[in-house]
Structure 1
Amino acid sequence: MGDGHDHQLHIVRRVRLFAGLPEAAQHWVASAAVTRPYRRDERVYGPGDRTGLFIVHSGLVKVYRLTESGNEQLIRLMSPGDFLGETALLADTTTDHFAVALQPSELCVIDRTRFTRLLGQHPAVAVQMLQTLSRRLEAAEEMVSALSGKSVGQRLAQQLLHLADEAGEAVFRLPTSKKELASYLGTTAETLSRRLGALQQDGVIRLGPGRRIEVLDRQALRRVASA
């Protein structure tokens, strides 16, 4: 098998969804998948599209809907190892949201016919997918609860703690613009900027260039998040 297949196999083995498959099945998935590069701001799919299963190999993809007023409502950010397009795929319908590359990205796609065949042959993949979707639903429910019961400052502190945990260190870079983060947190970019400035003035974080943030006092940030 050539370098292309080896590259696909490397992608497949990095994805938790396929990590537990027998080696022969992983090779089959690698053969069934097609890898495609996406430019920054290039659309992966949009409402009305019939999708396959998309797996992020590199880069960052945002998933969002448009509100009635025409504003973007960020649903989630997809990083390497994440998959998307599964809702329309499993329900055999078209999508109702957008997926756009936030930076140059490489995605691996398996069309619905081949993926349905894979699920039939390896039910463990379906179980793993359901577990992942369950975690996403739980996170979405937590966000809905936060939007209705927590202040902007609390939601922001909670999100900064989450980003620091994902980065594995106190210094990280916001993966989206402030406008997009504000949309996700249910506020405005102006309010978000004021809250970030207040956290910096209180010595809790330090704001740097290029959306860089350093958490200086994690305990204080936790107190803000749980206040």
Structure 2
Amino acid sequence: MSLESDIAILRNVPLFEGLASDQLRLLAFGAERRRLAAGEIVFRQDAQADAGFVVASGTVALARQGGNQQKLVGVYGPGTLLGELALITATTRPANAKAETDCELLRITRSLFRRMLEEYPEYAAGLHERLKIQFADMTRQILALEERFSG
């Protein structure tokens, strides 16, 4: 795939909404393209996470390990960003990710994403606002669940 096709894929990722073409170009140019065959592991649950993965083609299954069982979280296709929290902070993987079909992924490291935030502070400010709203919504949902289960 070409740089232009990578930019087109990144343009459809919700986290990257509002990025101009030159900003997307920076991410696409710095991203590492990975090709995986069906059944190959993308990452393992509890592993240190230093990058996010954008599904360019194919599908990736996420499953959480609990005891001797795996519970399917979901199957994700093109335009999905897996591990977005790893772009922002040091964290561990909450689930196993495995190529469900042959697939191509764009690996975006935390350092690349931070460089983009430093070079484009207006995007960083907008991202901060969006995350603040998402966390406030999440807090409201948790409080609503707490009330529901405590009464």
Relative to the length of structure 1, the TM-score reads 0.51
Distance 1:111 1:23, change over 3 A: same
Structure 2 residue aligned with 1:99, among 82, 85, 97? 97
Question: Which residues of 2 match residues 1-227 of structure 1 at below 5 A?
Answer: 4-46=2-44, 47-68=46-67, 70-120=68-118, 121=120, 122-123=123-124, 124-125=126-127, 130=131
Shift of 1:13: 2.2
Distance 1:82 1:126, change over 3 A: farther
Relative to the length of structure 2, the TM-score reads 0.73
The higher-RCO structure (CA 8 Å, 6+ apart) is: 2
Does the 8 Å CA contact 1:119/1:125 hold for their aligned counterparts?
Answer: no
Letter of the 2:107 partner, please give it.
V
What is the CA–CA distance in structure 1 between the aligned matches of 2:4 and 2:95, rounded to whole Å?
32
Distance 1:14 1:87, change over 3 A: closer
Letter of the 1:50 partner, please give it.
A
Shift of 1:32: 1.5
Letter of the 1:38 partner, please give it.
L
- SS of residue in 1 equivalent to 2:88: helix
Shift of 1:35: 1.4
What is the CA–CA distance in structure 2 between the aligned matches of 1:117 and 1:96, rounded to whole Å?
25
Which structure's residues are more often strand, by fraction? Answer: 2
Runs of 4+ in 1 over 6 A off after TM superposition: none
Does the 8 Å CA contact 2:48/2:90 hold for their aligned counterparts?
Answer: no
Does the 8 Å CA contact 1:8/1:35 hold for their aligned counterparts?
Answer: no
Shift of 1:125: 4.4
What count of residue pairs does the alignment treat as equivalent? 135
Mind listing any 5+ residue stretches in structure 1 that lack a counterpart?
145-227
What is the CA–CA distance in structure 2 between the aligned matches of 1:50 and 1:98, rounded to whole Å?
12
Aligned to 2:149: none
Does the 8 Å CA contact 1:54/1:84 hold for their aligned counterparts?
Answer: yes
- SS of residue in 2 equivalent to 1:81: coil
Does the 8 Å CA contact 1:64/1:75 hold for their aligned counterparts?
Answer: yes
Mind listing any 5+ residue stretches in structure 2 that lack a counterpart?
146-151
Does the 8 Å CA contact 1:35/1:109 hold for their aligned counterparts?
Answer: yes
